[in-house]
Each structure stands twice: as C-alpha cells, then as structure tokens.
Amino acid sequence: MLQFRNDYSVGAHPDVLAALAATNLEGNAGYGADGYCARCADLIRALCAAPQADVQFCVGGTQTNFTAIAAFLRPWEGVICADTGHINGHEAGAVEATGHKLFPVRADLDGKVTPAMIEPVVARCVDPHLVKPALVYLSDATETGGVYTLAELEALSVCCKAHGLLLFLDGARLGAALTAADNDVTLPDLARLCDAFYLGGTKNGALMGEALVICTPALQPDFFRVKKQRGAVLAKGWLLGVQFLALLERGLYWDLARHANAQAARLQAGLTAKGYGLLVPTTTNQIFPIVPRALLEELDRVCTYEVWEDLGERVAIRFVTSFATTQAEVDALLAALPDQR
C-alpha cells in the first residue's frame, strides 16, 4: 500500500531518532529546563535574526494553536481565520473551548487570508455588542498547500498593525512553505512581520513537536504557566529540544521539506500529464487532483489518500508527501493511475 494520506504516518527521520537514542539515558532537567532546549532556542533566535524572541516547544499543532491564542487574547477578543483554516475545521473546537470566537472568512481555493477579507470583520465589530477581532490566524503552507508571498505577508502585517490585530502564523508545514519553488519569505521575515509563529516538527521529520517563536515581547511573560495549564509542557521536555537541534543545526529540516515538495511536484506533474485536473495547483507537499468518482475504488487498493471535496461526478482528493516518500513510490502511484486523456 502506497502511503500518500498525510505527512505524519511515519516516525522521525533516522538522524532525529539517532539523536534521541544518543541522549536517551544521560539525565536532563525536566519540563524544558534543559540544555538542549536552551541551545535550540538560541539557534532558532539566530536563524530568525530575532534576539528578543521567546522560543517555546509544544507537542502538537492543535495544542500550540489554542495555547498561544488563549495566552495572547482577552476573553472578549476573537480570531479572524480562513473558513478552511485548521482551527476552524479540524481541531474539534479547541479555540472556542478556551472561550474565544472565530470569525471565519471565505478564503479562495489557495486558503489564503487577505486584508480585504479582514477589513469588513473589523468594521462590523466596532459595535461593542460584538466580539472584538484581535488576532489574525494564518497557516503557511495553507490547508490547501498555498504559500504566502513576502508582499502578501507585508500587507497583512500593515493591516494588522493598523487595526490592533495580532498576526499569528501556524507553521505546521512551514518547512514545505519556506522551501517551495515560489516562496520568497525567510524566517527573519516571519519574525519581523508576525507576533508569533511556529516551525512544525511533527510533519517534517520529528516524532512530535512544534517550536513556537513569540516575537513580540509583550506576549512573552508567563507563557510557561499557560503552557503548563493547557497540558503543553512535556515532562521530558529535552526530547523536543534534541529533535529540533537535529533538524535545524545542519539544515536537515529544509532538506526534508525540499524533498517532500519535490516528490509532490513530480506527482502533480505526472498527474497533469495524464490528464488529471487539479482543484488548485500547489508548490508544497500537498496536491489536490480531481478524479472520477469511479476511480476511488481502484485507488483504495493502491494507496492511502484523503477525499477532500465532493464535486458531483468527480471528487477532489488529497495526496501528501513527506520526507519518507521515495521517488519509486511516486512513480508506482503514477503507473497505477489510468490515463484520463
């Protein structure tokens, strides 16, 4: 069975696992108060050219999202996000469970939020009988594989500053985004433009772990307490520091993402050549081919994938590649799929 369902169906990259094994029994302070986390935080600050930033390691993406949002907002404040955003559609109401309303805005197929989507929400919510929009949630790459350009992020930052909104970027697939062919954004750009963002480990070579970068000093105090309160403090916290060091110290993180993107690009190109349409073309590790409904049965025998959207006679599906996807697997999948021309 070819694995194209998601980018979290195998464990860690062997180098990451080796780093865990090498440090397994050495003895470290708990709760992230160890030398690996400290060193890794320094490294991330350096990579981001953000000496003032606080780096906080969490275990998973949903947890990072709701912990950060709960920490940053006041009770009467809400979050603007794409209607397709992960916090709106895939996290079982985690943000609302912390008491905050979401304002989902209708995003385009690429899943991006724009100032033009934000402005009407802000304008409407001047009325104090409504929740006050206070944070814009993006993901890069987006839920549908889109990549923000530097110009788009600059515009969002200007819009947010003008309206007193925090800018928060979910980077569960940040590796894929920053290594995409059409990307022109760097970590220092993110640290400059966002109030907080994270580098996802789970979907790019780690067993688990997300490295949250809190750029804005006013958002940093007491963050450990809120992490603890939300179950986001791993007792053996060094496990996260060790993994992110293994990923970031010699650029493995970017290599793995580049690899995943390349396999996705090969698959997308191959499918297009075979006459498959795309729900939306992407440059990251998720692709969204459109297939005849009748093909699904055959697909189920060949590979794992996700049904993305029902289009009537046809169905948009999602294939995801990861650091572990081989060219052979991509080619096998392409070979198994019938020509649509």
Smallest distance, a copy of itself to C-beta of residue 2, A: 9
From the list 44-52, 56-64, 147-155, 248-256, the region that binds a copy of itself by CB under 8 A is 56-64
What is the CB-side half-sphere exposure of residue 194 using CA atoms within 13 A?
Answer: 30
Smallest distance, a copy of itself to C-beta of residue 275, A: 29
Question: Please, is 43 exposed, middle or buried when counting C-beta atoms within 10 Å of its C-beta (0-12, 13-18, 19+)?
Answer: middle
When binding is defined by CB under 8 A, the residue of 39, 132, 192, 274 that contacts a copy of itself is 132
Q: 303: which 2 tokens? A: 């590979």
**Cβ within 8 Å of residue 131, ≥6 positions away:** 76, 77, 78, 100, 101, 103, 125
Under rule CB under 8 A, residue 241 binds a copy of itself: no
Under rule CB under 8 A, residue 173 binds a copy of itself: no
**Cβ within 8 Å of residue 64, ≥6 positions away:** 58, 170, 198, 210, 212, 232
Smallest distance, a copy of itself to C-beta of residue 85, A: 13
Under rule CB under 8 A, residue 167 binds a copy of itself: no
Residues 197-236 that bind a copy of itself (CB under 8 A): 202-203, 207-208, 222, 224-226, 228-236
Q: Is 84 helix (H, G, I), strand (E, B) or coil?
A: coil
Q: 119: which 2 tokens? A: 């402005």
When binding is defined by CB under 8 A, the residue of 141, 212, 324, 333 that contacts a copy of itself is 324
Whether the upstream peptide bond of residue 141 has omega within 30° of 0, thus cis, is yes
Residues 61-90 that bind a copy of itself (CB under 8 A): 61-63, 66-67, 70-71, 74-76, 78, 89-90
Residues binding a copy of itself: number (CB under 8 A)? 72
When binding is defined by CB under 8 A, the residue of 45, 100, 173, 258 that contacts a copy of itself is 100
